[in-house]
């Protein structure tokens, strides 16, 4: 029980971060605002595009959830840059791709754009992908190299940044 008690603060902070600061607003508030809080006609008049969007959204949700939970349980920290994990997280989805949290968020955003028939939301998803990439390359990766050194370097050699591998090593 002592082990779990030490997770109470990171878990509580993570919940607040996810719902009100990070993914929550990124996935709900901004897309809702961009789409005018309504579902538009399907893109190109093709109903299957709406269903593809729903599938992408549903597929991204467990990526985000598993990654966030793993940061708290295995990393002993949070996904927020102000309280990062104390341990390098290289298990679970992190065996297949270095940034499953961002991949999950982008899948969900693309799904929302397609489902809502909103080109503004699709543009937002592409712009956010660019911002995520810059953040990872210019801040996260240099920081992780400094904190975790050779362990992180080896991890980067084995696991791709954005495109998941089909198997873990």
Q: Is domain 2-158 in CATH 1.20.120.1630, yes or no?
A: yes
Contacts within 8 Å (CB) and 24+ apart, 13-20: 13/78, 13/80, 13/83, 14/68, 14/71, 14/72, 14/78, 14/79, 14/80, 17/78, 17/79, 17/80, 18/68, 18/79
Task: Give residue-wise pLDDT tens across range 94-140.
Answer: 999 999 999 999 999 999 999 999 999 999 999 999 999 999 999 99
- In angstroms, the CA 116 to CA 104 distance is 18
Which of the 8 DSSP states describes residue 20? I
pLDDT of residue 110: 98
Instruction: Answer yes or no: pTM beyond 0.85.
Output: yes
Task: Give residue-wise pLDDT tens across range 46-88.
Answer: 999 999 999 999 999 999 999 999 999 999 988 888 888 899 9
Residue 115 structure tokens: 């489902």
Residue 152 structure tokens: 């992180």
Q: What is the maximum alpha-carbon separation in the chain? A: 56
- In angstroms, the CA 158 to CA 169 distance is 8
Residue 2 has pLDDT above 50, yes or no: no
């Amino acid at each position: 029980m002592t082990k779990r008690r030490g997770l109470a603060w990171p878990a509580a902070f993570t919940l607040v971060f996810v719902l009100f600061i990070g993914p929550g607003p990124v996935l709900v508030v901004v897309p809702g605002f961009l789409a005018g809080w309504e579902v538009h006609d399907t893109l190109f008049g093709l109903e299957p595009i709406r269903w593809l969007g729903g599938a992408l959204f549903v597929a991204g949700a467990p990526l985000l959830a598993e990654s966030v939970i793993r940061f708290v349980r295995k990393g002993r920290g949070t996904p927020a840059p102000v309280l990062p994990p104390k341990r390098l997280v290289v298990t679970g989805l992190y065996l297949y791709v270095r940034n499953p949290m961002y991949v999950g968020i982008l899948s969900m955003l693309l799904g929302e754009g397609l489902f809502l028939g909103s080109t503004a939301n699709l543009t937002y998803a592409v712009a956010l992908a660019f911002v995520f990439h810059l953040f990872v390359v210019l801040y996260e990766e240099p920081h992780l190299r400094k904190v975790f050194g050779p362990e992180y370097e080896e991890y980067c050699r084995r696991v791709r940044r954005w495109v998941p591998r089909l198997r873990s090593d």
